[in-house]
Amino acid sequence: MLNFSMVPFASGACRDAFKATVGTDGTYLGYGEGSELVIKAMKPALWNRGVRLTKIDVDMQNEAVTLANSFTEKFKPTKGGKPCKLYMRGCKLDPCVRDFVNKKGTAIFRKGENTAVEQIINGDWEKFNSNSGWSSGTATLPDAFSHWTWVQTNGDMLVCDLQGHRGHPGGPKYGDDDGYYYLLTDPAVLSKDGRFGITDLGERGISNWFARHKCNGMCEGMKRPDRARATLTSKRGSMYSDEV
């Protein structure tokens, strides 16, 4: 049994997020009893445009998980002499078995609609960079990770649109980490062939991202595209492929 709110507690560029908890009568999608989860559904405006959450979105985010793990293993990043690991939340696809309607009669989840389910991220929320090259300028590690993903995949992919919680001593723990860490979710992946959905701006997006990216100390020695040109507007929120 999954107990969930019908009122979103947060909204991203593409999805609304609803809090949920696994009940006391078993597990849900492999998440144990009492697990605090988030259900993410496509925002109504995008749903009405025909945009759907699919396995591609889940595969994209889980690809980002693998790259985040590899990045942390390779660089073993630190802050103040202490480990500062970078994590990415994975997610699971979960189709609705019936309509769920709120008190006003508005359909929140529709029968057959796919949702994404993942564990909640506790703590203050920050946006670190976007898929159009915007950067908060306050976080070295996420920007370097985005740059590295392009290098690691031989120019095929770039993980960006990074957001989540920046852990610090005295803040929420994550596993055994009670100090510094980054716990991220809802990335975009830019690919050469634009295969990862509406936030994948393709090869043009990769070029635009690098034209706006300012390399930091962690980027030292990493390759960049030979000719990167800024051809898209830089904005904090996600840009959609049909805006390019």
Determine which one of 57, 94, 161, 200 is catalytic: 161
Tokens, residue 51? 């945009």
Report which of 200, 82, 205, 184 is spatially closest to residue 142, judged by C-alpha positions.
Answer: 184
CB within 8 A of 48, min separation 6: which ones?
none
- The type of residue at 134 is W
CA distance 181 to 77: 9
CB within 8 A of 240, min separation 6: which ones?
198, 199
Measure the N-to-C terminal CA separation of the chain; round to a whole number of Å. Answer: 42
Report which of 47, 57, 77, 81 is spatially closest to residue 161, judged by C-alpha positions.
Answer: 57
Q: What are 174's strand-pairing partners?
A: 177
C-alpha R_g of the chain: 18
Tokens, residue 239? 């840009």
Taking a C-beta distance cutoff of 8 angstroms, is the pair 15, 40 a contact? Answer: yes
Give catalytic status of residue 161 as yes or no: yes
Q: Which ranges of the chain does DSSP label H, i.e. alpha helix?
A: 44-48, 55-75, 140-152, 202-212
Catalytic residues: 161
